[in-house]
Structure 1
């Protein structure tokens, strides 16, 4: 029998270890693909159940709603409910709808612009106390908006803005989280070399921001706009504190006022449900219409 030298023994193929009895060919346990897909389908159905209930309940009349027959596919009265909604209280619902569009649309647009300007300044420029001031802005994120409603009411009463359009519009222009988000976007989408090249070419700071910085950070602008639009559209407590004239109510506060009357007037039940269905339409349209800006921003960041 030939004896192998140490280098030859190292180069020789080693025998594979014999698997333990009863464990040969067994793979690690993992959930099956069908089980994972089934769980995802159940979670999706659970998430969409409130929307499905709202879609079917908006087409029911008062007896069906009070009787719990909201998910049945028969007896649709959507046309009649829309007609009653438009005629209720001299058509005030669509007046509330227009108010919400003004509050949310103009407020979110102004807030997004203010936040992008502030985030751009915090990221691009250096000045004394910049990080301390930015830390103060971040502290504003920790304060809930409901805690600020009473102080804002006192300030609005001092300047005579209570029960006016401006009492709801002006506070919506401030969003500390939007400033933080805008600074993050400016750090990722606005290279300092591009700004320096614009300054070398003779462009002023305002021209550089308007022509270059704002366009490059447009995905951040759209993100802040959508966040603020959703927050203002769903805002309830601030209009409740500031407004007493029903003609200035947004949809959220107007539907609440109708809902408080359902005990004495059950005929308001279909109006509240149908109005709630129409109230989610602007949010869906806004997200679908502006999602392409997010995709463009992700593409720009991947090729930068």
Structure 2
């Protein structure tokens, strides 16, 4: 007999469980994407291969041997020529480049992180309009702003100084946009409210809580700004006149102009190529060193929630 006093209660269907990705899912590779990567790989590696091979040749072999293979090795003599040319001016250019790139990258990443965090987690009058201005500035080419920037710095009597290169490089609209998106998805508002309830001030919350969570995005902005400032040519070209203040990009271009203008009479082509190869090495080292923090942080943020 059926017990009518306690009829069975219909249970609501349980929500579907969230599928946890396994190691096999993460290790899957798309054959089409793999083929595309392999096809585009020579486009990126051939110029680097040519640079490495050419840095081992002297001035005459650059024009008499096959460009993608080694001839007689002259690496040591090329290095000596690079670092002794013009009384060792290459050392000065290298130091200038390091100062410009490191100071600009650190400053731009900190400012972009703070601005992106503010846009993401604070509601203030004009915030949306101001962020729209930041987005619009991304569309403006940096070369279009070079002449107005020069006029402003000339009025402030800052041209031909290191500040003329560093201060414009501190502004990174793309970095602000990237950090705003990253802060929106990474920082839980309830975490900030809990910190406020505990009596923490806004500055302490930012430096003790938010900045640690935003570090992967901050390193990403730092890498972008480091590469951009290291390879910047047009801004220091119009801002600087003193040879002692030039970065590697403008200094090597001057050597190239001197060699081309005199039909190679100064034999500076090997110095230019070897110097270009030397200037690339720090960027490769910096990217490989910071990549582990970048990827580990992004991977950690991708499995939350």
In the superposition, the TM-score normalised over structure 2's length comes to 0.85
Look up the match of 1:244. 241
Structure 1 position 235 matched with structure 2 position 232: yes
Look up the match of 1:281. 281
Look up the match of 1:186. 183
Look up the match of 1:17. none
Contact 1:226 1:287 in 2 (8 A): yes
SS in 2 for 1:71: coil
Look up the match of 2:60. 63
Counterpart CA distance in 2 for 1:41 and 1:291 is 22
SS in 2 for 1:50: helix
Look up the match of 1:49. 46
Look up the match of 1:204. 201
Look up the match of 1:140. 137
Give the length in aligned residue pairs: 271
Post-superposition shift, 1:39?
A: 7.1
**Could you say which structure has the larger radius of gyration?**
1
Look up the match of 2:167. 170
Q: Deviations over 1:102-125 (max 9, x none)?
A: 101110100000000001111111
SS in 1 for 2:291: helix
Q: 1:124 to 1:40 in 2, by over 3 A?
A: closer
Structure 1 position 86 matched with structure 2 position 83: yes
SS in 2 for 1:162: coil
Post-superposition shift, 1:294?
A: 1.9
Q: Deviations over 1:192-245 (max 9, x none)?
A: 111111111110000000000011000110010001111101110000100010
Look up the match of 2:293. 293
Post-superposition shift, 1:42?
A: 4.8
Q: 1:247 to 1:128 in 2, by over 3 A?
A: same
In structure 1, the gaps of 5 or more residues are 1-32
Counterpart CA distance in 1 for 2:166 and 2:237 is 14
SS in 2 for 1:160: coil
Contact 2:57 2:71 in 1 (8 A): no
Contact 2:102 2:226 in 1 (8 A): yes
SS in 2 for 1:280: helix
Post-superposition shift, 1:45?
A: 2.9
Q: 1:98 to 1:36 in 2, by over 3 A?
A: closer
Look up the match of 1:120. 117
Post-superposition shift, 1:270?
A: 0.4
The root-mean-square deviation of aligned C-alpha atoms, in Å, is 1.7
Post-superposition shift, 1:253?
A: 0.5
SS in 2 for 1:235: coil
Contact 1:56 1:71 in 2 (8 A): yes
Look up the match of 2:6. none
SS in 2 for 1:70: coil
Counterpart CA distance in 1 for 2:299 and 2:67 is 44
Higher mean C-alpha deviation, range 71-80 or range 201-210: 71-80
Counterpart CA distance in 2 for 1:274 and 1:73 is 14
In the superposition, the TM-score normalised over structure 1's length comes to 0.85
Look up the match of 2:20. none
